[in-house]
Structure 1
Amino acid sequence: MSNHTDDPGHGHSPAAWTAVIIMLIAVALGTVALFIDVWVLFWVAVGLLVVGALAGWILGKAGYGANGPKYQTKAH
């Protein structure tokens, strides 16, 4: 097992968790919308998927990403 100091953190950051949670909700909502054949809800889910990606990017730029100054790694 190697201990590299340039380890990007594998996405264990507030920015990554926020993006993934929002996008998981969007995919679940989109799946239900397709199952019950409600196209408006499907397109809302697609929009929410984009919002999740943007939220992760914005939080990463705000310093909450794996290498950001506002994120402190935790020992494993």
Structure 2
Amino acid sequence: MSNTHSSQARANEATPSEDLGHGNSPAAWTCVFVMMIGSIISCIGFVIASNPVFWGGVVVIAIGLIVGWAMRKAGYGVGGSKLKNQH
């Protein structure tokens, strides 16, 4: 009987009580898109054995992080002031 109780307690812990948004915002999507482009550039640089292309892709990935952070600070993140669908 205690085994059923412990599995039920774990099931209750696994479901969050509030919606976290999962990053569905212009800031998150822009960050992911820019970082994906950087990853593709780095992969191409790796395959063709070009250090400048590879590291250029890494720089683009870092730029994606900075752009996402800046957009979040500007109000385009989850629950940001510039979004119409605020909760």
TM-score surpassing 0.5?
A: yes
Superposition CA RMSD, Å: 1.9
- Identify the residue that residue 60 of structure 1 maps to in structure 2: 72
Which structure exhibits the higher relative contact order, with contacts defined as CA atoms closer than 8 Å and separated by 6 or more residues?
A: 1
Structure 1 segments of 4 or more deviating over 4 A? none
For the 8 Å contact 1:8–1:67, the answer to whether it is kept is no
Give the Cα–Cα distance (whole angstroms) in 1 for the partners of residues 17 and 85 of structure 2.
Answer: 14
Question: Of the two, which has the highest radius of gyration?
Answer: 2
| Structure 1 stretches lacking a partner, 5+ long | none
**Deviations 1:21-70, CA, capped at 9 Å, x for gaps:** 00000001100110000110111111100000000000000000002111
The match for 1:49 is 61
Q: Is the helix fraction higher in 1 or 2? A: 2
